[in-house]
Amino acid sequence: MVKVILNGCSGKMGATITNLAKTKFKDIEIVAGIDSFTEVQRDYPIFKTLDECNVSYDVLLDFSRADALKGLIEFSKKTKKPLVLCSTGYSKEDLEFIDKTSKEIPLFKSANMSIGVNLINLVLKKIAPVLYKDFDIELVERHHNQKVDSPSGTALYLAHTIQDSLDEETKLIYGREGYGKREKNEICVNTVRGGGIIGDHEVIFAGDGEVIEINHKAISREVFAIGSLKACEYMANVSKAGKYSMDDVLNIEL
């Protein structure tokens, strides 16, 4: 049995992860939660901070906000247990801190926990270099009106994958305004925020005579919860320090 502490247990994702762990992941038990809203009812104790938590565990799972990073890493370094980071909105300094910490503890980080998104990311590595010469590349991401980071971590993840796959130097821009033609080396990320959209991502390759679109639509938060729990299962068996991702969990190559 993999014992998990869930940071961010009182939110919508916390509720989804809690329910799935009970119904579909028989080898996982959430033994404690961390959240400032401790009045929420769960089948495990909820602590306001990690420092208050004295429950034995195997993996620490975070699905909260980027500003929780420092506390999560400090706690994990003390316990020497794997840390699974599923939050987004990390700054450049945060990402450098994550890379540094991965040399000390087993650390999982993914911009998106969906199996489908990670498969698309692998596809982009292969097709972007083939299409770039004759196609313009644009991305559109859509999320609910309560999402705090923009563009989404997933959109940046896909955009950076495209950039890294190309020999040519490209420029990432965010939205468009003003007057002037599109430059060839631009890759634009367009953001939509509205209603209850869970998460839509679209990559557009626009040529002179044809357009190729790769779309992913999350129709339920369960897709992210399933990915995060699969990551916990995987990381529970990892003892070597390093940075791990969904590529490791899914063990897929194209």
Give the active site residues.
143, 147
**219 with 198: CB under 8 angstroms?**
yes
Tell me the C-alpha distance between 8 and 126, whole Å. 36
Tell me the C-alpha distance between 140 and 202, whole Å. 5
Encoded tokens for 108: 């999982």
**240 with 102: CB under 8 angstroms?**
no
Residue 135 — φ and ψ, nearest 5°? -130, 140
3-state secondary structure of 201: strand
Encoded tokens for 28: 């996982």
**12 with 68: CB under 8 angstroms?**
no
